Structure 1
Amino acid sequence: MAETATKARVPAARGKRPKGPPLRPTGPIVPVSGVSGNALVVVVAIMAFLACLTLGAVTMIRQSATSWQSEIAREVTIQIKPEEGLDMDKALARARSVVTTFAGVTGASVMGKGATARLLQPWLGSGIDIDELPVPRLVVVTIDERDPPDFQAMRAELNAQVPQARLDDHRAWVDRLTAMANTTVLIGLGVLGLVMTATVLTVIFATRSALSGNRHIVEVLHFVGAETRFVASQFQRHFFRIGLKGGLAGGVLAAGAFFAAGAWQNATMGAAGSAQTTALFGRIAIGPWGYLGIALVVAVVAAVTALTTRLTVMRTIRHIDRARADGNRAEPS
């Protein structure tokens, strides 16, 4: 009896499935691959590449402008124009001694004749004699950025002690650089907005195309009781993968482009073309924050793709329900 009972309990042991026909694997509502899906991956990759390039360029220009502003803000110059009967060396020494008495000045040095000649070399050539030209001489004053001196008081004291001296605090250049940087950031944000808008519209059209090809499946699932959230989640998951693949491809290409450009600049340092590029754009390096921004763009592209798909599917299903309700009202009672 006990043996018989034991044998009767064996088929019910854990991990045993009842005998019967094997279950058919359920296929996805949206096809996993296809020509339209591959084309959408390419389009999203292009959009992400352009967005990452724009963000990296804005970051690079912003860093260069900040560096220029910092360099300009750390120094001011005093120009002393030569006049008949003026002892230039005494005037330079007097101006230097005046500015060093102000709080916020960390140092002052007179620019020598050789350094002044090198500044004029691009325009006047080499071998010029500063003493034979009415060229102003300079005193370079280093200031504390966090606690700058009172420039108005410094200017007034210089006018009193050395009437030929003119203080230039480079405020106009700093304002121009700030305006240029802000304008560049605004333009970059505008381009980013346009790229993201184009991405959203592309995803909407692709989602509607996928819905039109699988509309009968969506209608059947919806009419037999499948919830709108379930159907929308199937499309959302599919297009999220597409957006993530395209975003990663575009982000990696953009990061590689910046890395390659920076490596080229370092390898050709000193050459004519590299020197002109450096003078125009500064160092081609976006830094850790730039690469983090590229990763953020990739995440945003994938999220926008998934969210846009979900909203489009839910709106389409609402249109199906509305059309069905209108058809029911039109039927004669």
Structure 2
Amino acid sequence: MNDVTENETGLQESRREIVLRPTAPIVPASNIAGSSLMLVISIMSFLACLTLGAVIMVQDTANSWQSEISREITIQIKPEPGLDLDAELTKARDIALSFTGTTSAMIVDSAATARLLEPWLGEGLDMEELPVPRLVIVTIDEASPPDFAGMRAALEESVANVFLDDHRTWVDRLIAMANTTVIIGLGVLALVFTATILTVVFATRGALSGNHHIVEVLHFVGAEASFVASKFQKHFFLIALKGALAGGLGATLCFAVASLWASVSLATPESDQATALFGGFSMGAGGYIGALAIVVITAVLTALTTRITVIRTIMEIDLIRSDPTYSIS
């Protein structure tokens, strides 16, 4: 009777030890490989957010340029001896205003023309001695533009040495540039995501290689492939989420610093050139939403890539185990 009691007591103590014994995770919570992967994902996310922000800013600037150019057309009249330039300018302005879709027209006087040429020819220009064309700037309705062909024909019929520039060539070039920028940006984003996926695949296979016997034994005793994959998936999802957040915040901080620099360095040549291309370095709400989307997409892609990689690896283990010559060492 005492022996039975002692056996029951020993069995209870053994069960208590089994219950209280801490279980080690299949994938270590933190290791050198995980830190390296987080750093790589941070860099990839940083580059992706920078690319997206640059594309959005260039696209917005191109749209602004396109809108400004599309609102105006220019009538040029070249001077020649004996030509009453002022009368021809007035005539050209009146013809332009006679067309439906034209909202206003302004003759650029000699003083304003001289100011436009000062950066290249210096001050104190005598416009009477220079064969510089005089301009009439015509503002048009973007929604309902005038008949440019008809206006051009009417001007050439009534005004001497006239040329109508509707800026269509520049608008087409801006549209082509904006579209090219978007395509290049999407290409860079695709390369970044591809590199991230390949990095996650290598990292997952490395973690599986380091825990190969554990995974194999767990699967051998009945653990489903989805169960094992979920452990790796959760581990790498958290790593990717932390890394992507760090990269996204870093890119956002860079844009904030650039925007602050642009606002402080107003009216300087460097700031003017940068602002002309990138605007005020402000991504706007769409840019920040896009950066957040990149963070989420990076984490989700990492999780899916990890899951697929683990399941495929376990399938390879099953194929190896189905070999009659296979044995567990």
TM-score (structure 2 length as normaliser): 0.91
In the aligned structure 2, how far is the partner of 1:25 from the partner of 1:105? Answer: 81
Question: Are 2:312 and 1:315 aligned?
Answer: yes
Q: Structure 1: which 4+ aligned runs deviate by more than 6 Å?
A: none
Tell me the residue number matched to 2:179: 182
Question: Are 2:261 and 1:267 aligned?
Answer: no
**Match 2:163 to one of 166, 171, 179:** 166
Q: Matches of residues 293-308 of structure 1 in structure 2 within 5 Å? A: 293-308=290-305
Tell me the residue number matched to 2:9: none
* 1:44 and 1:246 in contact (8 A); partners too: yes
The letter of the residue matching 2:240 is: G
In the aligned structure 2, how far is the partner of 1:32 from the partner of 1:276? Answer: 49
In the aligned structure 2, how far is the partner of 1:161 from the partner of 1:90? Answer: 12
Deviation at 1:302, TM superposition (A): 0.5
Tell me the residue number matched to 1:290: 287
**Matched residue pairs, number?**
312
In the aligned structure 2, how far is the partner of 1:234 from the partner of 1:305? Answer: 13
The letter of the residue matching 1:94 is: K
Tell me the residue number matched to 1:113: 110
* 2:92 and 2:155 in contact (8 A); partners too: yes
In the aligned structure 2, how far is the partner of 1:60 from the partner of 1:27? Answer: 49
Deviation at 1:130, TM superposition (A): 1.2
TM-score (structure 1 length as normaliser): 0.90
In the aligned structure 2, how far is the partner of 1:299 from the partner of 1:318? Answer: 29
Deviation at 1:282, TM superposition (A): 3.3
The letter of the residue matching 1:247 is: A
Tell me the residue number matched to 1:204: 201
**Which segment is superposed worse, 53-62 or 249-258?**
53-62
Tell me the residue number matched to 2:143: 146
**Which segment is superposed worse, 159-168 or 244-253?**
159-168
The letter of the residue matching 1:91 is: E
Tell me the residue number matched to 1:68: 65
Tell me the residue number matched to 1:230: 227
Deviation at 1:35, TM superposition (A): 1.0
Cα shift readout 1:213-232 (whole Å, capped 9, x = no counterpart): 11111111111111111111
Cα shift readout 1:199-238 (whole Å, capped 9, x = no counterpart): 1111001000100111111111111111111111111111
Tell me the residue number matched to 1:136: 133
- Cα RMSD after superposing both structures: 1.6
Deviation at 1:330, TM superposition (A): 7.0
* 1:110 and 1:138 in contact (8 A); partners too: yes
**Match 1:219 to one of 216, 219, 222:** 216
Question: Are 2:32 and 1:35 aligned?
Answer: yes
Tell me the residue number matched to 2:90: 93
Question: Are 2:254 and 1:257 aligned?
Answer: yes
In the aligned structure 1, how far is the partner of 2:62 from the partner of 2:93? Answer: 29
In the aligned structure 2, how far is the partner of 1:279 from the partner of 1:156? Answer: 35
Question: Are 2:144 and 1:157 aligned?
Answer: no
SS of the residue aligned with 1:296?
Answer: helix
Deviation at 1:276, TM superposition (A): 2.8
The letter of the residue matching 1:163 is: A
Cα shift readout 1:174-219 (whole Å, capped 9, x = no counterpart): 1111111111111111111111111111100100010011111111
* 1:104 and 1:147 in contact (8 A); partners too: yes
Tell me the residue number matched to 1:56: 53
Deviation at 1:25, TM superposition (A): 4.0
Deviation at 1:278, TM superposition (A): 2.2
* 1:95 and 1:158 in contact (8 A); partners too: yes
Tell me the residue number matched to 2:4: none
In the aligned structure 2, how far is the partner of 1:121 from the partner of 1:190? Answer: 42
Cα shift readout 1:265-304 (whole Å, capped 9, x = no counterpart): 1011112322232234433111111111111111111011
SS of the residue aligned with 2:113?
Answer: helix
The letter of the residue matching 2:106 is: S
In the aligned structure 2, how far is the partner of 1:114 from the partner of 1:231? Answer: 79
Cα shift readout 1:136-181 (whole Å, capped 9, x = no counterpart): 1000000111111110011011111213221100111111111111
Q: Matches of residues 5-20 of structure 1 in structure 2 within 5 Å? A: none
